[in-house]
Amino acid sequence: MRYSLTIESLHAAYQQGELTPAALIDELLAQAESHGKEPAWITRLTREQLEPYLQRLEGESPDTLPLYGIPFAMKDNIDLAGIPTTAGSPAYAYTPTENAFVVQQLIDAGAIPMGKTNLDQFATGLVGERALEVYGTPANAFDPKLVPGGSSSGSAVVTAAGMVSFALGTDTAGSGRVPACFHNLYGVKPSLGLLSTRGVVPACATLDTISLFTFTADDAAKVLGITAAYDDQCAWSRKHDFAVHGKRYGKAPAAFRFGVPLESQWQTDAAYTKGMHQAIAEFEAIGGEKIELDCSPLLAAARLLYEGPWVAERYHVIRELMQSHPDAIHPVTFEITQGGATPLAVDAFDAHYKLAEFKRQADALIANVDIMLSPTTVTHPSKAEVAADPIGVNSRLGTWTNFMNLLDYSALAVPVGFSERDLPVGVTLFGPVFADLTLLSLARAIEARLMLPLGATGVAHPALSEPLTNAQDGTMELVVCGAHLQGLPLNHQLTERGGVLVSTTQSTPRYKLFALAGGPPKRPAMLRDDNGQAIEVEVWRLPIETIGSFLAGIPAPLGLGQVELADGSWKCGFICTAGALNEGGEAEDITEFGGWRGWLKKLAAE
């Protein structure tokens, strides 16, 4: 391929007249033809089948369609109208008349579907070795002796090999993140419900999500922004507008805290241990503070997925096929799924009670940091190793992936380099539900430092442009100067809203501080005055959703406005309405004490 297949690169080539979507498609088809039968695909569209998608682009351009002329693939448990959906089983196959909701969003944005990719049958597996003989097993794009990872094996392989710009997979227990890790790709495991699963063959309907494979964080953010649309016809869809919640993709913050599991819990081999240390060093280099955390609740939750009754959800999907055509099921898939036929309803409640306790503990744990960093998986096994122990090896690969959807977290597989054997090594960033853009923003900051080649193509990473905006994580920083300071009577109004102390600092030397009449507790008034001085303040970070209730409780004449800090930044903080200092009694000028605490010390000494 003569061109980098990133979205920005292709759009630049289109706009400069160097390439057209039709020419690109012809080149990709010729490339595929030269490779012959490729087990990574189950169905590749022909030039004739692709023609309507190309005609759809006539009169359009990258200026009018955000994915104009961008080729993509989808896992064959996701519907493409007129093309069979097999879920890896000819006996199960059906031909949909409509596109899956997410696929339709992509086509409407100008993307071109190149075909349907292979998978671990019924999306059950993390190895990529559970495909029927009729389809063949995809080869890892870096080393055919190694597993490609699953269950979205084909989607990872065709992306890494440069056959498409991005691909859709699914991720219930790691099926998007593990193959992304094995192929030097970004693997987006969106928050549950963010992407509609209408038109997707379920594995565990309550835990399923479509996942994304891309070469870059920018591409991931763009595709996510298009596909993360609420679907009122999908029972599992959740409405979440990132902008409304104060969240935005962009330049990463200059300082943040990231949690890392205790190294004794990693369970990684030498290559993946080295990758974790490298990732830690990279995040520290961009301003991150490492916080080691005991992740036992997360690992305990992970074990529930296949040891508990959630296997019954998988059985629910294919039980009729298992009973009528057992030979149509891959032997390992049959063995695992058959276990879902026996749990009792009481077992399900027992497991949900355990999960609720693990989530309570896990949520409290990750609340101490801005994001979490963990291994994506613990090793990269060979096909021979999986053949010798298909269930045991698969289980190990899910050590750090199985808990994510159970605990309702967002996650992102991030490439960080290559092992001594020139194999990709990656890590995972994760956080609470709907932290997706925060994860991508931080991943981009690391990407800009590493500039790894694209997938397995050998193509150098194209230059990254400076982000147009700063990332926002759905929080807001608030400057306080009086009774809301840490340890003082009104500080609870911040902490009970999830507030976290960011820094103790000062205002620019252009403020006067007054103690208003009334109370208790006494209230401060900070007024901008060129004859003022620096005032001691604290900066607190609160979830943006809680600011409204906080503002509603602020009594007149106080309110929230912009306060200039000593470093020249402006942040939201307490201000006083003009002419209000003498309303209801005299206000005391306490500027000389340099802050509220200094004044309190003076009162205590009297």
Catalytic one among 155, 165, 175, 196? 175
Give the integer Cα–Cα distance in Å for 334 and 589.
78
Is residue 251 flagged as an active site residue?
A: no
- Residue 592, C-beta contacts closer than 8 angstroms, at least 6 positions apart: none
Give the integer Cα–Cα distance in Å for 308 and 306.
5
Burial of 594 (0-12, 13-18, 19+ CB in 10 A): middle
For residue 262, report the phi and psi dihedrals to the nearest 5 degrees: -55, 135
For 313-367, what is the HEC assignment? HHHHHHHHHHHHCHHHCCHHHHHHHHHHHCCCHHHHHHHHHHHHHHHHHHHHHHC
Token digits of residue 103 = 């696929």
The candidate with the shortest Cα–Cα distance to 531, out of 507, 515, 510, 513, is: 510
- In degrees, rounded to 5, the angle at the alpha carbon of residue 58 between the alpha carbons of residues 52 and 59 is 155
Catalytic one among 4, 9, 89, 151? 151
Is residue 569 flagged as an active site residue?
A: no
The candidate with the shortest Cα–Cα distance to 412, out of 256, 126, 185, is: 185
- For residue 302, give the 3-state DSSP assignment: helix
Q: Which helix (H) or strand (E) holds 12?
A: helix 7-15
Token digits of residue 164 = 């498409």
The candidate with the shortest Cα–Cα distance to 45, out of 9, 17, 72, 7, is: 72
- For residue 116, give the 3-state DSSP assignment: strand
Token digits of residue 185 = 């790709």
Catalytic one among 4, 9, 75, 89? 75
Give the integer Cα–Cα distance in Å for 46 and 51.
9
Is residue 34 flagged as an active site residue?
A: no
Residues acting as catalytic residues = 75, 151, 175
